[in-house]
Structure 1
């Protein structure tokens, strides 16, 4: 399906595909999608007046119970036919309040950062690799891999496990292609019950919109097959975690030329000087950046070094290299940088904003990431890591939030947001979005970690 550019294009698609209803949606700060079902007959009002939501009820969007409704003004470019539900379409909008853009809106934040890049002549493009697991519950409520036969010690690329999920995987693949995203591979990943569907790249806003729809699609289709599709970073202690890898590049806004490509790269990675500078920016801001791309307590249970028994395929150090999966940034193909740290437990709009801001800072300061690293960082001795002055990624959400709050470049990228008075009354005060986000994440950290677990009782009740 060709991507619509205007409301008139949307109306034509509604007529051609006999669309009866439209999900009008937005995402809040933690990545949750909220929607209302709008009759297609109301399409004119939908795109002019928008749809109202009680923002406080929807989630974290900078609102209290006393706040006015948020209004969602859909972007016609996000209009998509829902392939598995006849007569249904989906559209994503930006959050406004009383007719003005709402500074807490993740989609608006990303658009603002992309405008800054465009002022420098750049278009930020990404592709994503979203890993997910198909799971279910036992009769006693224990989480399990949905396919009981998917229990091999090395299940990666297992043809039999992929065949057992053939109907679901091929349905998703065909729908991705119908949506115009060009799926180019489906595979069983390294975890039991884990799969990945690769999607071609686009500009950052379009890719974030695609990611939101993709997550909704995979979850909905898995339910039809009696399973739960989870993008949770680490649902099982003894199983590989789920990542959401970013493959990033800057393109010329006028010529649409990939500015990261240099086939004469003296370092042999086919990456331009601009690409190295962008990489250096990501590495320089990695600790605070992590709070946006690995945004939950559970995220840091995924980011552990692999062992022979539990392979993780994730980075633990702030490094870059060639086709080496133990590095944070992997340069595996010409003209693109793959970041292996992100997961899909939060908002892609905020994650992409952080990546672009950090990378552009490297470009503007002409940073050099040094020579690429070719070690296996899972087995490298601590003395060698110290000798090479390799820094490690944060070990917890609380640690990454601390570094985020210390990062002035990321503070500037996410901007300031309005705040109410001490009793919820309107005021002219503002604060940094980063401070708002940090409060949410600190509360989440304590909500999860302050609870005494059965493991702690077993370990400490009679000790010492």
Structure 2
């Protein structure tokens, strides 16, 4: 994009720009900039106090500068006089801030490019539509025990769903289907896969768009992993393939390979499975995340989330599914996953798998919910966030690939989150132990 942003603003009727960065906890931070000032701030950056966001900084640190990426400009479909641009963070002397999730992803993608690889991803973002207060489902008639694909419940939310889909159509994302998901009040929208950074920017904007349009309609949207104990949680299933740098040849595709995957693809999967417990610190980054992947049977009869570190064919009960030739699906991640750190960690582990020629082991096609593998056959996923953080702390592969300083900052903040959680006294604890 070569035209000045002020000129683009004039052509498209943009009055304001949101210069946005995503912090380590996935919170989007932004400044609203009038179009008359956008060229100066685009060149020099919008100033932020780093301590005010989750970036492991102090009040004594100098300001940080958010440099927006004009190649990822999203004009708000529901408010076209405003445009959103993701930004990268730099210090005032021009050095990159290593705690910037978007820069972490760009660094990993550069490592892939140096090896001759171009990574493409797609995400399936599940979310609930709640009442405005967020305490209950927005549709009291959505009560079926098997609500997945329910036509009537879907169409009762047509105004919200169609406005979001129309927005993606206008943005050129290629959305191709919308459905009611497995939980009451839960929905999913699918759009075309793209280069990993493009998908990550779209993922970040999608979450903002869904929440904003829901609020416009008097509702609240949440991507929380497990908001209701008896219902299926929100996943963020991620599809991935590796191409040559020109983007013309899918290096994961092999018509002679098992399930249409190449040896390169299986090595990538081997790398992911090898460090899956540490990966959970990014794919399942909250306390609540582990109530989704280790949940009891839900009202629908299945959680649709994995509990073992295993891969399968077209089988949704394992961590990795191979639904088609030339790609795989990671079913582990949930709605709280950071749009940039999720692909960064996943790709880093896959590159390690290729580098070390890791063997993913045998494929298991059992139903993990009704016919679990014998104990000790495969490893289990962490049972809570603390386990995942401890696995990340000892994992040198992610520390080297993502930057050791970044991983230390992430762990520092996440351990503090665990300590804050541990100080709380829940109603359950009071009820169970008050008479001790």
Q: Structure 1 residues 301-310 or 20-29, which shifts more?
A: 301-310
Does structure 2 retain, via aligned residues, the 8 Å contact 1:305–1:315?
A: no
Judge conservation of contact 1:10–1:79 (CA < 8 Å) in 2.
no
For these two proteins, the number of residue pairs brought into alignment is: 434
Judge conservation of contact 2:69–2:85 (CA < 8 Å) in 1.
yes
1:459 to 429, 432, 436: 432
Q: Partner of 1:398 in structure 2?
A: 386
CA RMSD of aligned residues (A): 1.6
> 4+ runs of 1 displaced by more than 3 Å?
9-13
Q: Are residues 218 and 137 of structure 1, via their aligned partners in 2, closer, same or farther at CA, if it must alter by over 3 Å?
A: closer
Tell me, yes or no, if structure 1 residue 119 matches structure 2 residue 114.
yes
Q: How does 1:422-441 map to 2 (within 5 A)?
A: 432-441=405-414
Equivalent in 282, 285, 292 of residue 295 of structure 1: 285
Paired residues of 1:305 and 1:378 also in contact (CA < 8 A): no
Q: What is the aligned partner in structure 2 of residue 200 from structure 1?
A: 192
1:143 correspondence with 2:135: yes
State which of 312, 336, 339 in structure 1 corresponds to 2:303.
312
Instruction: Give the drift of 1:327.
Output: 0.7
Distance 2:208 2:171 in 1: 14
Aligned residue in 2 for 1:274: 264
Q: Which SS does the other structure have where 1:458 is aligned? A: helix
Please say if 1:83 is aligned against 2:77. yes
The partner residue of 2:123 within 123, 128, 134 is: 128
**C-alpha contact (below 8 Å) 1:53/1:70 kept by paired residues:** yes
Q: Which residue of 2 aligns with 1:168?
A: 160
Pairing of 1:147-162 with structure 2 (within 5 A)? 147-162=139-154
Change over 3 Å in CA distance of 1:438–1:308 after alignment to 2: closer
The alpha-carbon distance between structure 1 residues 106 and 381, as it changes in their structure 2 partners (threshold 3 A), is closer
**Residue 254 (structure 1) shift:** 2.6
Question: Following TM superposition, by how much is the alpha carbon of 1:393 offset from its aligned partner in structure 2, in angstroms?
Answer: 0.5
Shift of 1:308: 6.3
> Within 2, Cα distance between the matches of 1:29 and 1:255?
30
Matched, 1:236 2:228: yes
Work out which of the residue numbers 335, 341, 345 in structure 2 matches 1:350: 341
Does the Cα contact within 8 Å between 1:249 and 1:258 map onto a contact in 2? yes
* Conserved 8 A contact 1:306-1:378: no
**Alignment partners' CA distance in 2, 1:106 and 1:308:** 34
Cα offsets for 1:154-178 (capped at 9, x unmatched):
1000000001000110111111111
**Aligned position for 2:359:** 368
1:324 and 2:318 equivalent? no
Deviations 1:322-368 (A, max 9, x none): 11110100000221110011113142211111101101111111112
Aligned with residue 13 of structure 2, among 18, 43, 61:
18
Deviations 1:139-191 (A, max 9, x none): xxx82111111111110000000010001101111111111111011000000
Structure 2 vs 1, CA of residues 205 and 381 (structure 1 numbering), >3 Å: closer, same or farther? closer
Q: CA deviation at 1:256?
A: 2.6
Q: Secondary structure at the match of 2:303?
A: coil
Q: TM-score, normalised by structure 1?
A: 0.90
Structure 2: gaps (5+ residues): none
How much does 1:16 deviate? Answer: 2.4
For residue 425 of structure 1, what is the aligned residue in structure 2? none
